[in-house]
């Protein structure tokens, strides 16, 4: 499973930061390798964390259907948005925090390397179809040039399950939502909802970008297409980025 070779920024930094070792979860004396693994005890123990780091760990717990302490409890908090001006430290903070969470690291499963976290940048300009194609490209999946928009999204959702991706990190997400056409903006919101509410393989969505990303999510969460999901928004101030995203 390979991602595109010519990407840069967040995606390439994430790739360089990954370790090639397998991810083994030990919980209640049971060793388990693979998707939907039990959440490591390190995520259950209260400790000092950054705001974004704590929200990321909450996504991991929710993905496993657990809350802190190991109790099974489904939760609808499925989208985390990290918003701030350019240069505010969003990318650096996400790189550091995702690199510290074991459940987001690649591991070996049945002879294959599985990457639970898929990271890619929203294209600019962006349309719903181009966004789906960019996600497929990040997964290393080729599609025919004349593929339809709905087919591209169907393929992307199927490939996320096939690649056992649990978390999707979309950098420069403002490109996906800063669309003049309201119909296309609605399609993007619906696509986000479909990703996090897939009945057989729901993923958790992490969005990083500058305004109007936060306003878009707020509108969608209050009576809009994302109103059925509980979303978290972390706003990053460049003057306080070291305090809010780093420890």
pLDDT in tens, 98-155: 888 888 899 999 999 999 999 999 999 899 999 999 999 999 999 998 999 999 999 9
Q: How far apart are CA 169 and CA 208, in angstroms?
A: 8
Q: How far apart are CA 50 and CA 96, in angstroms?
A: 11
pLDDT in tens, 9-61: 554 444 444 332 222 222 222 233 444 433 333 333 333 345 666 777 776 66
**What are the helix (H) ranges across the chain?**
10-17, 51-63, 90-100, 128-138, 149-162, 174-177, 182-196, 213-221, 241-245
pLDDT for res 222: 57
Tell how strand 25-27 and strand 30-32 pair up: antiparallel
pLDDT for res 185: 82
pLDDT for res 221: 64
Structural Rg of the chain based on CA atoms: 17
**Burial profile 90-110: b = 16 or more Cβ within 10 angstroms, e = fewer:** bbbbbbbbbebbbbbbbbeee
Model confidence, pTM: 0.71
Report the sign of the C-alpha dihedral through residues 7, 11, 13, 15, in that order: negative
Give the fold, CATH level 3, of 10-245: Rossmann fold (3.40.50)
Q: How far apart are CA 195 and CA 185, in angstroms?
A: 16
């Amino acid at each position: 499973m390979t991602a595109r070779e010519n990407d840069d920024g967040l995606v390439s930094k994430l790739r360089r930061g990954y370790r090639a070792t397998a991810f083994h979860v030990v919980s209640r004396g049971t060793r388990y390798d693979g998707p939907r693994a039990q959440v490591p005890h390190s995520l259950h123990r209260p400790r000092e964390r950054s705001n974004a780091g704590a929200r990321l760990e909450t996504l991991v717990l929710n993905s496993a259907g657990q809350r802190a302490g190991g109790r099974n409890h489904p939760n609808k908090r499925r989208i985390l948005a990290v918003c701030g001006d350019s240069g505010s430290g969003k990318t650096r903070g996400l790189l550091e925090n995702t690199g510290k969470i074991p459940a987001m690291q690649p591991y070996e499963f049945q002879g294959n390397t599985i990457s639970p976290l898929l990271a890619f940048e929203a294209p600019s300009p962006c349309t719903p179809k181009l966004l789906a194609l960019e996600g497929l490209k990040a997964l290393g999946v080729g599609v025919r040039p004349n593929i339809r928009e709905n087919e591209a999204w169907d393929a992307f959702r199927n490939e996320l399950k096939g690649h056992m991706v649990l978390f999707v990190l979309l950098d420069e997400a403002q490109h996906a939502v800063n669309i003049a056409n309201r119909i296309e903006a609605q399609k993007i919101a619906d696509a986000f909802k479909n990703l996090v509410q897939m009945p057989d393989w729901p993923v958790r969505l992490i969005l990083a970008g500058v305004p109007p990303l936060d306003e878009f999510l707020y509108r969608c969460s209050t009576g809009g297409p994302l109103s059925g999901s509980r979303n978290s928004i972390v706003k990053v101030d460049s003057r306080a980025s070291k305090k809010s995203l780093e420890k």
